[in-house]
Amino acid sequence: MLPVDNGDSAQYIGILPLAATGSLALWVLSLAIYRACFHPLAKIPGPKLYAITDLPYLYHVSRGTWVGKLQEFHEKYGQVVRFGPEDVSFTTADSWKTIYGHKTSQNKTFHKDLRIYRETISGNSHIIIAPHEDHKRMRRLISHAFSEKALRGQESIMKKYVDLLISKTRENAKNGKTIDIVAWYNFTTFDLIGDLAFGEPFGCLEAGGYHPWVSMIFDVLRIASLGQVVRRYTFLAPLRSLIIPKWVREKGKEHYQLTQQTALKRVELGKTDREDFMSYILRHNDEKGLTKGELVENASLLIIAGSETTATQLSGTTYHLLTNPSIYNRVTEEIRSTFESEDEITLARVNDLQYMHAVFEEGFRMYPPVPTGLPRITPPEGEFIEGYWIPGKTSVSVSQYSSYHNERNFRDAEKFVPERWLGDPKYKSDSRGVLNPFSYGPNNCIGKNLAYAEMRLILARLLWSFDLEMLPESKNWDQQKTFLLWDKGPIQVKVTAVQR
């Protein structure tokens, strides 16, 4: 006898969606309770909602408000904060050593968290995202272009663009114009790095405006942080085109194509006597050197890392000088009393300006060009960091802005005080070892010496030649959002040529 359907099966079918929903809700609740209360990271202080899901973190990243939010957390919870299910932030000097330091039998390797770093369009690596052995190979080769010898040879190229900056600023001063000093710093550093990387500038200084290529770089950087969403939630990869606007992807491709075209054009010239980056790289490019694809990707990286961050530091330092008249007057007096003529302002001589050096150190502390952390992944066996056992495959980082604005590390953390770097006893308790604006260890910034040289030469020449006065409209310039880097507005400055 065949079974008779009396309607019970329909009832069961109707219950299935409800049961599935209930099961999903129970799973989500169980996961939330586990992450908040029983996860190996549960003992680390931090907001519980962020421990349960990284959606709030990604929300602030996409809004450009994450740097300020993380600083709030460190002020509330201390120097170790869990801000995601598997993400921990630190703000101590020792954590730099553990996470980023040179590796020994006791100090294990922390690999980069590739969810943060954008993959290249070509598929080739550059020095930031390259695996450990490839990174060593690339760094060995590229380091020749940033050696002390190279820096001495590059001074004439550097001077050429600083001369042009001074000349253009003098024209504006003569005509009574105010200038956006942020833009002019960008014009100078992009032209300089363009010449050092490709053998020709972008022409920003001559034109008094951004080259379309430079504008495109800024446009892409502002939106690039959205890529984290896709890299954290890989199931969203098919929706990449909806999350990351088409124009961003197209501009990214255009930037790569322009870099490829310009870099390979310089490579075709071969080894020359010119002291630019390519000359040094090509001289040492043996069978263990860079492929053409790697060379292009590293050239692309150098354009961004070697120009934007230097201009950012100059902008931040100048802002804090112009909002602190006594400090501005002291550093200006140091420069003008040291040099009798502009020709005396050389790379060797600006190194003797101790107060200006302290001004830059304090500028890095108040306004680090890379304000966020550079995350690393703990080794599979885990590691102790700042007294906490951090399990393997956890993303850990030192947040620069939070570290530098933390009263536990720096007295009067919100005040611009260069004297703290000159042995002032009032600040002897400062944790100066936590300041690492160029990162730390074997992966620190290879262009540190070049950046310092640019900054010292540019600021010394400007303050020797001009009196600067910031206009009221730029008063709160430092209240900015961050999208990987600072989203900087203009600093409007009245410039007056010094009469001698």
Distance (Å, whole) CA 29 – CA 18: 16
| Chain center to CA of 229 | 19
- Do 205 and 314 form a contact (C-beta atoms < 8 A)? no
12 occurs within a structural domain: no
Q: What are phi and psi of 113, to 5 degrees?
A: -80, 100
Give the residue from 344, 369, 374, 370 showing the smallest Cα distance to 455. 369
Per-residue HEC secondary structure of 429-450 comes to: CCCHHHCCCCCCHHHCCCCHHH
Taking a C-beta distance cutoff of 8 angstroms, is the pair 204, 214 a contact?
yes
Using a 10 angstrom Cβ sphere, with 0-12 exposed, 13-18 middle and 19 or more buried, the burial of residue 340 is: exposed
Q: Is residue 7 part of a domain?
A: no
Residue 141 lies in a domain: yes
SS3 424: coil
Task: Report the Cα 332 to chain-centroid distance in Å.
Answer: 28
Is 411 part of a structural domain of the chain?
A: yes
**Amino acid 2: pLDDT:** 44
Prediction pTM value: 0.91
DSSP states of 131-197 as a string?
-HHHHHHHHHHHGGGGSHHHHHHHHHHHHHHHHHHHHHHHHHHHTT-EEEHHHHHHHHHHHHHHHHH
Alpha-carbon distance 179 to 495, whole Å?
Answer: 8
- What CATH code is carried by the domain that includes residue 233? 1.10.630.10
Three-class DSSP category at 82: strand
Q: Of all helices (H) and strands (E), which one includes residue 315?
A: helix 308-322
Asked, for residue 192, whether it belongs to a domain, the answer is yes
Phi (first) and psi of residue 429, to 5 degrees: -85, -5
Annotated binding site for heme: 445
- CA 446/CA 145 separation, integer angstroms: 9
Within a domain: residue 253? yes
User: DSSP 3-state assignment of 247?
Assistant: helix
Residues in contact with 123: Cβ distance below 8 Å, sequence separation at least 6, in sequence order = 293
Per-residue pLDDT at 19: 65
Q: Which residue ranges make up the annotated binding site?
A: 445
From the list 500, 476, 167, 460, the residue with the least C-alpha distance to 492 is: 476
Domain range enclosing 121:
48-497
Does residue 88 lie in a domain region? yes
Residue 150's nearest CA partner among 279, 270, 269, 294 is: 279
Beta bridge partners of 468: 495
Question: In the chain, how many domains are there?
Answer: 1
Pairing of strands 87-90, 80-84: antiparallel
Integer Cα distance of 306 and 309 in angstroms = 7
For residue 185, being part of any structural domain is answered with yes
State the residue for tokens 């304000």.
Answer: 371
pLDDT tens track, the chain, 500 positions: 444 455 555 555 667 676 667 777 888 888 899 999 999 999 999 999 999 999 999 999 989 999 999 999 999 999 999 999 999 999 999 999 999 998 776 667 899 998 887 778 788 888 988 888 888 999 998 999 999 999 999 999 999 999 999 999 999 999 888 999 999 999 999 999 999 999 899 999 999 999 998 998 888 777 777 777 777 877 776 666 676 778 877 888 888 888 889 988 888 887 777 888 888 888 888 767 888 888 888 988 888 888 999 999 999 999 999 999 999 999 999 999 999 999 999 999 999 999 999 999 999 999 999 999 999 999 999 999 999 999 999 999 999 999 999 999 999 999 999 999 999 999 999 999 999 999 999 999 999 999 999 999 999 999 999 999 999 999 999 999 998 889 999 999 999 999 98
Whole-Å CA distances, 60 to 71, 119, 275, 370: 13, 22, 43, 17
Q: What is the 3-state secondary structure (H, E, C) of 306-374?
A: CCHHHHHHHHHHHHHHHCCHHHHHHHHHHHHHHCCCHHHCCHHHHCCCHHHHHHHHHHHHHCCCCCCCC
Q: Residue 89: enclosing H or E segment and its boundaries?
A: strand 87-90
> In this structure, which amino acid lies at residue 451?
A
How far apart (Å, rounded) are the C-alpha atoms in residues 128 and 294? 12
